[in-house]
Amino acid sequence: MTETNFQTFFLDVGQGDCTLIALPNGQYMLVDIYRCPGQGTVDAFKVLREFLPAADGRKQTLDYLVITHAHDDHIWGIGDLADEFDIGELWVPQYGTKKKLSDNYEAFERVVDAQPDDQKVWQKGSRTAVAELADGSVSVRCFSPPGYVEVEETLDEEEARRVVHENCGVYRLTTRGVSLLLSGDSNLPAWQRITGYYAERTEGDQDLSVLSSQVLHASHHGSRTFVKEQKDDTAWLDALEAIDPTEVVISVGADNRYQHPDDDMVKIYEDQVGADNVLLTEDSGTLVLTVTGADMYDIAADESFVERFGWDDDEGGSKASRESGPPGGTQRVRRPPQTPPPGFEKTPQHAPRRERYAGA
């Protein structure tokens, strides 16, 4: 396979998460899937059809599909995805429940059950890297869930959602000295558990410095649940300070009914990295992170995705998915501004800031 730059495409799919990662050896990893026709500016399947290697009449292969948790805004379209593409490895949380966690949960279970055991990875936090991808050039750490996820059937919908978020998959990918932290919808209890574990350790690469990442994919579409449980609570910033990002990317849908991102959370991110370095897909469309050298990277909006991979009037998945997409976003097709707002033109290449927690 041809050696290429590590790239991450934060796809503008509306009020959901769908992040495509191009590994340096030509393989691809998709972290979460959200394909709801009319939401966002791009059809994730169009992107996959273009990027994945042609297969001479067979299904194209997605090398890795990582699902952080089984809520609709992270698995919508997973059944159609598995029908159209072969999945090399499926990384998923292991749920011990008969409770239906989302509208697409049955499709999620079908895909998990159909995946061969030797191509299925149950998510579990580890003190060491859980994978070395692309001939060892990309190291993957998993910080959550701690293991098997039990969601009691007696829990109401809000309680069950909280448990799922508390046990959401959290990954850090590191290559050439640049780290990207993918946080899914992980909430305050999840991060108190994660940071509490590493705060008690001082040896080698087991202290809080393992969380340090130049780029943070913000939790829960910019929700305050990352740092507080209620709006008026005092923000708990230990995790954000340990991550110590330089840029924060928020995947969020325009005019969504949840009013994400929360203004107070955006202000916290801006205080951490500067307003120009908090990047929202609802404002800029698809954002692309490119690792350009040792300790060097840039992030920029790619407006070409609108024309190349935008929704067609006569396309967009099955009839059922067109008629019963999840709530939470508008059905209009948004166009990014003709001129990117300040901070989106081109983030300068730079080395990461000195890690706050030295000693690794």
pLDDT (0 to 100) of residue 347:
34
3-state helix, strand, coil in the chain (%, to 5): 30, 20, 50
Residue 236 neighbours by CB distance under 10 Å: 15
CA distances from 107 to 19, 37, 111, 120, 229 (A): 20, 18, 6, 16, 30
CA distance 136 to 250: 28
The model's confidence at residue 321, banded by pLDDT at 50, 70 and 90, is very low
DSSP result, 51-82: HSPP-TTS--EEEEEE-S--SHHHHETHHHHH
Mean pLDDT of the region 123-143 = 96
Beta bridge partners of 96: 150
Domains of the chain: 7-323 (3.60.15.10)
Q: Is the pLDDT of residue 119 over 70?
A: yes
Mean pLDDT of the chain: 88
For residue range 11-69, list pLDDT tens digits in order.
Answer: 999 999 999 999 999 999 999 999 999 899 999 999 999 999 998 889 999 999 999 99
Contact indicator for 25, 259 with CB cutoff of 8 Å = no
- Residue 294 has which token pair? 């040792």
Contact indicator for 343, 279 with CB cutoff of 8 Å = yes
Which SS3 state, helix, strand or coil, does residue 243 take?
Answer: helix
Burial bucket for residue 312 (CB in 10 Å: 0-12, 13-18, 19+): exposed
Beta bridge partners of 171: 142, 182
The model's confidence at residue 207, banded by pLDDT at 50, 70 and 90, is confident
